[in-house]
């Protein structure tokens, strides 16, 4: 009686497994740790978030957190804002800031925060970037102001480079301002933050929303 | 998958004597495959597919504080939406008078959307007509498409339907996004969010009429 071989040929399955691994490795992007989890409201819009954004997160207590997807621009903005407030930072701190994810602290507290290890950072109770508009320009204003300038400079630099190297240039890749606010945040808080950005001559915002089903007019 | 090399047992082959100790070419791939599946599971579970969606909003430049006589847009027959706490929303037509009746609605299809659809009916018919013509067009006919896009823009510019949005300190961000979303759905071309929020009379009216 012929004995059947108990071992299966698993090559196709393994091939497929590796194919999927490669696919997921290449397509997935990791979420950076966020100091607050914000649940945005839903809408029916289908526009996707731009590639590069200056993200303003507003939680339900009205605290503002800032983040920038482009590390080079982020570090330049940080240097400028520190300069503005008369704080001296070394290149190490700037580098740490560029890779730190969203931050909602006073500028004076940021270098100290960056000294901490990642797991200690989550324990810090962040107070939000101050944006109180009474009196002189708030810190958030300077973040907005320098980001707007640097975003423009970055765009121009890339355009110039594309021209000299005769490469196609993606005009849509401009750093834009995105607002991610908690759905139960007071609108007045969101409005005050936006007001600061309007003072800094930022007029266009991408309001981040969750997905909702197709609407009907009936 | 450890393979046990079966050498035929009997030794019939003629090459048996010369190549008796032929090395097996099989490599044990079990650990590698284990790792592959582990990684696969990890990436499947951690990857986020849907990118967040955005609602584009453009805010006008701030009014110059030195110029005093700038007024809120005048509304003759427009709708004013009043957003207030606990997801409540009221509206009234035309200009505000002490005896204006506030009509309570909600954020659902039968509430706010129905009001806006009825209000903007002309525009919706116009846009549907343009859309129909657009669908009939050939995909390559970009010139005609651009012409229709322009027609949409002109229709929006000529729109007489104006909606004002005012909120008090109780209104949440979700309320505002919901209203903006409704404007998109119902193709309201002209809407204004009033920076100052509600006027005192409106607050009083809500207190008096709202329950």
Q: In chain B, positions 134-153, which contact chain A (CB-CB < 8 Å)?
A: none
3 state DSSP class of A205: strand
Are the C-beta atoms of A176 and A50 separated by less than 8 Å?
yes
Are the C-beta atoms of A206 and B56 separated by less than 8 Å?
yes
* Cα–Cα distance, B185 to A40 (Å, whole number): 19
Residue pairs between chains A and B whose CB atoms are closer than 8 Å: 155
Please list every residue in chain B whose beta carbon sits closer than 8 Å to the beta carbon of residue A205: 56-59
Per DSSP bridges, beta strands A53-58 and A176-181 are parallel
User: Is A17 an 8 Å CB contact of chain B?
Assistant: yes
**Stretch B137-154: mean pLDDT, rounded?**
79
Are the C-beta atoms of A113 and A97 separated by less than 8 Å?
no
Per DSSP bridges, beta strands A42-43 and A204-211 are parallel
* Cα–Cα distance, A116 to A111 (Å, whole number): 9
* Cα–Cα distance, A131 to A140 (Å, whole number): 5
Are the C-beta atoms of A69 and A52 separated by less than 8 Å?
yes
3 state DSSP class of A175: coil
Candidate from A25, A44, A49 with C-beta closest to B43: A25
Chain centre to alpha carbon of residue B173: 14
Kindly list the distances between the CA atom of residue A155 and the CA atoms of A76, A149, A170, A175, A202, in Å, as whole numbers in the listed order: 14, 10, 10, 8, 16
Asked whether the beta carbons of residue B33 and residue A206 sit closer than 8 angstroms, the reply is no
pLDDT confidence of B15, banded at 50, 70, 90?
very low
Whole-model pTM: value is 0.73
pLDDT confidence of B137, banded at 50, 70, 90?
confident
Q: What is the distance in angstroms between the Cα of B50 and the nearest Cα belonging to chain A? A: 9
Provide the β-strand partners of residue A29.
Answer: none
pLDDT at B165 over 80: yes
**Residue ranges per domain, chain A?**
38-211
CATH no. for B79-120+159-209: 3.30.420
What is the DSSP code string of B118-183? Answer: HHTHHHHHHHHHHHHHHHHS-TT-HHHHHHHHHHHHHHHHH---EEEEEE-TT-BHHHHHHHHHHH
Q: In chain A, positions 162-201, which contact chain B (CB-CB < 8 Å)?
A: 178, 180-191, 194-195, 198-199, 201
* Cα–Cα distance, A183 to B178 (Å, whole number): 10
Instruction: Please give the residue of chain A at the shortest CA–CA distance from B56.
Output: A206
- Tell me what pLDDT residue B1 has: 47
pLDDT (tens, 9 = 90+) of chain A, 218 residues, equals: 566 777 777 788 888 888 988 888 887 766 666 777 777 788 777 777 788 888 888 888 888 888 888 888 888 888 888 887 777 878 888 887 777 778 888 777 777 787 777 777 777 778 778 777 666 778 788 888 888 888 888 888 888 888 888 887 777 778 888 888 888 888 888 888 888 888 878 888 888 887 777 666 65
- Tell me what pLDDT residue B14 has: 47
* Cα–Cα distance, A44 to A94 (Å, whole number): 39
Please, which residues have CB within 8 angstroms of residue B156's CB and are 6 or more apart in sequence? B123, B187, B189, B190
**Stretch B89-97: mean pLDDT, rounded?**
80
Q: What is the distance in angstroms between the Cα of B186 and the nearest Cα belonging to chain A? A: 7
A128-A133-A135 Cα angle (round to 5): 125
Instruction: Please give the residue of chain A at the shortest CA–CA distance from B53.
Output: A48
- Choose the mutation target among B55, B128, B166 for the interface with A, i.e. most A CBs under 10 Å: B55
């Amino acid at each position: 009686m012929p004995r059947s071989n108990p071992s299966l040929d698993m090559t196709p399955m393994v091939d497929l497994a590796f194919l999927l691994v490669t696919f997921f490795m290449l397509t997935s992007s990791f979420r950076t740790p966020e100091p607050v989890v914000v649940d945005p409201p839903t809408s029916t819009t289908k526009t996707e978030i731009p590639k590069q954004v200056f993200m303003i997160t507003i939680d339900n207590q009205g605290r503002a957190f800032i983040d920038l997807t482009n590390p080079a621009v982020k570090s330049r903005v940080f240097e400028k804002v520190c300069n503005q407030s008369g704080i001296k930072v070394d290149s190490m701190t700037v580098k740490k800031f560029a890779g730190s994810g969203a931050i909602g602290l006073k500028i004076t507290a940021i270098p100290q925060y960056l000294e901490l290890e990642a797991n200690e950072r989550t324990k810090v109770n962040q107070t939000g970037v101050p944006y109180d508009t009474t009196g002189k320009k708030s810190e958030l204003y300077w973040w907005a102001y320098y980001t707007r300038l640097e975003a423009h400079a970055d765009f121009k630099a890339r355009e110039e480079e594309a021209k000299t190297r005769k490469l196609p240039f993606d005009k849509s890749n401009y750093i834009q301002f995105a607002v991610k606010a908690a759905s139960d945040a007071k609108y007045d808080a969101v409005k005050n933050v936006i007001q600061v950005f309007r003072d800094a001559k930022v007029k266009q915002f991408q309001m981040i929303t969750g997905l909702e089903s197709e609407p009907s007019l009936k | 998958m450890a393979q046990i090399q079966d050498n035929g047992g009997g030794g019939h082959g003629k090459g048996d004597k010369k190549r008796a100790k032929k090395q097996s070419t099989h490599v044990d791939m079990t650990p590698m495959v284990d790792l592959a599946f582990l990684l696969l599971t990890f990436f499947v579970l951690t990857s986020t597919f849907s990118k967040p969606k955005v609602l584009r909003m453009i805010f006008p430049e701030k009014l110059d504080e030195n110029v005093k006589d700038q007024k809120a847009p005048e509304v003759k027959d427009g709708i004013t939406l009043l957003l207030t706490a606990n997801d409540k929303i009221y509206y009234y037509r035309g200009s505000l008078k002490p005896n204006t009746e506030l009509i309570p609605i909600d954020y659902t299809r039968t509430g706010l959307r129905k009001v806006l659809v009825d209000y903007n009916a002309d525009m919706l018919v116009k846009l549907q007509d343009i859309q129909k013509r657009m669908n009939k067009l050939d995909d390559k006919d970009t010139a005609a498409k651009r012409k229709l896009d322009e027609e949409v823009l002109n229709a929006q510019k000529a729109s007489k339907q104006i909606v004002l949005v005012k909120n008090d300190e109780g209104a949440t961000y979700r309320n505002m996004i919901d209203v903006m979303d409704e404007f998109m759905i119902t193709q309201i071309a002209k809407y204004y969010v009033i920076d100052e929020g509600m006027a005192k009379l409106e607050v009083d009216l809500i207190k008096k009429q709202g329950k």
